[in-house]
Chains A and B, each alone.
Chain A
Amino acid sequence: MSTTVYIAVHGGAGYHGVPSEQNVKSALKRACAQALQHSSLHDSSAISVVEQAISILEDDEYLNAGYGSNLTIDGTVECDAAVMDGLSGDFGSVGALSGVKNPIQLASAVLRHSREPDSLGRIRPMTLVASGAHAFASSQGIQTVIPNEMVSPRAIREWQKWKSRLDHPTNGDQVSLPQDAMQD
């Protein structure tokens, strides 16, 4: 059996313009390097490697996850994240989550929590959303933040641009968002 650890990451399918290209590339390289380093020093399980890599990507403002996420119609950040274990088929995810610095770490905590039935013998949830997910984060000691700390200046500029067009369409045209804004 090979003892090599392999990692591959992505920064999204969509439009990667030249201005941000170098920032995206350096974030992806940093994610690979730090996830492998973590695997050799701490936990080398595939789930842990995935969690580490995605945490680095979530912290980067040029990527649409965690800090720097696209903003909702209300100008807030609400994140989705999931992780799946190939060995056991276990899955954990969070949705429409606010106020948690690294949503992937909470998704991983949901996966671990759902492995065993609860004291009443019930299957535990594999997905938690919104305020329930946030409460679970606090109960698991996962870092929570003031929701606005997840909003990046860059995301605000994008939001202001398209929100004003939405609110004040010129010549009564239907506003069509750029394709990239229509993708997760």
Chain B
Amino acid sequence: TVGAVAWDNEGNLAAGVSSGGLLLKYSGRIGEAAVYGAGCWAQQSLSKRDGMACSISGAGEHIVRSGLARILGEALQSPESDGGEVDIHQVLLQVFNQKFTEPLHQRGELMPNAGVVLLTKERGEDDEAVPRLWCAFTTESMAVAYASTRKPSPKVSILR
């Protein structure tokens, strides 16, 4: 699976995901990359000072069941975010610990794995929105890269 999140020069956010799915999958099977609320999510406030965009990869059936991208969006849109600060690190830890540390069915199923790249808007100096990039995963590794028109040389890393 591959994915992207972007913040454009009008302050709008977008997210996307694309996947070939599972090796030896049934023909006709779809994973999180096709399902609303599962593989990607993007939202922003009218003032454009708050918002998030995320792209997800991992065990499709678990991610679809949990609607992972959407619950991250909803968790980050909690009332505290109206003027208060949401602890994004805590939200990611909580969601991943709740949803992706136990197999859903105890038939020796592999551990459900997931990873997310998340772009959020934070309040910088003089209350302007500034970007912050997050990555969380329960798999062995996740490959990420980022760049901006201000710093066009991409930074890339295979996080482990």
A44 within 8 A of B: yes
> Smallest CB-CB separation from A179: which chain B residue?
B110
Once the chains bind, are A184 and B31 in contact (CB under 8 Å)? Answer: yes
> Smallest CB-CB separation from A166: which chain B residue?
B24
Once the chains bind, are B148 and A7 in contact (CB under 8 Å)? Answer: yes
Once the chains bind, are A63 and B23 in contact (CB under 8 Å)? Answer: no
Secondary structure call for the A interface: mixed
B25 within 8 A of A: yes
Interface residues as binary, A157-177 with B (CB distance below 8 Å gives 1, 0 otherwise): 011001100100000000011
| Given A85-B14, A184-B63, residue A70 in contact with residue B144 (CB < 8 A) | no
- A57: chain B residues at CB < 8 Å are 2, 4, 18
Once the chains bind, are B36 and A126 in contact (CB under 8 Å)? Answer: yes
Number of interface residues of B (CB under 8 A): 85
Once the chains bind, are A81 and B18 in contact (CB under 8 Å)? Answer: yes
C-alpha gap A40/B150 in the complex (Å): 12
A137 within 8 A of B: no
Instruction: Return B122 CB to nearest CB of chain A, in Å.
Output: 12
Interface residues as binary, B132-156 with A (CB distance below 8 Å gives 1, 0 otherwise): 0101011111111111111010101
A109 within 8 A of B: no
Number of interface residues of A (CB under 8 A): 90
Once the chains bind, are A33 and B21 in contact (CB under 8 Å)? Answer: no
| Given A35-B6, A54-B4, residue A16 in contact with residue B31 (CB < 8 A) | no
Choice from B20, B25, B29, B143 contacting A10 with Cβ under 8 Å: B143
Choice from A39, A79, A84 contacting B20 with Cβ under 8 Å: A79
- A33: chain B residues at CB < 8 Å are 147, 152, 154
Choice from A14, A46, A81 contacting B113 with Cβ under 8 Å: A14
C-alpha gap A91/B38 in the complex (Å): 12
Once the chains bind, are A13 and B137 in contact (CB under 8 Å)? Answer: yes
> Most chain-B Cβ atoms within 10 A of its Cβ — which of A13, A36, A81, A184?
A184
Instruction: Return A142 CB to nearest CB of chain B, in Å.
Output: 14
Once the chains bind, are B145 and A32 in contact (CB under 8 Å)? Answer: yes
C-alpha gap A180/B128 in the complex (Å): 41
Once the chains bind, are B40 and A9 in contact (CB under 8 Å)? Answer: no
B129 within 8 A of A: yes
Once the chains bind, are A12 and B2 in contact (CB under 8 Å)? Answer: yes
Interface residues as binary, A1-12 with B (CB distance below 8 Å gives 1, 0 otherwise): 111111111111
A103 within 8 A of B: yes
> Can you give 26 A-B contacts (C-beta < 8 A)?
A1-B10, A3-B149, A7-B147, A11-B142, A12-B143, A31-B4, A33-B152, A33-B154, A46-B42, A54-B3, A57-B4, A68-B20, A72-B25, A78-B20, A80-B30, A80-B32, A81-B18, A82-B34, A82-B39, A86-B53, A87-B44, A95-B34, A103-B18, A127-B36, A129-B30, A183-B113
Show the binding face of B for A, using Cβ within 8 Å: 1-36, 39-44, 48, 51-53, 55, 57-60, 63, 110-111, 113-117, 119, 128-131, 133, 135, 137-150, 152, 154, 156-158
Q: Which A-B residue pairs are the 4 nearest by beta carbons?
A: A69-B20, A13-B115, A95-B34, A86-B13
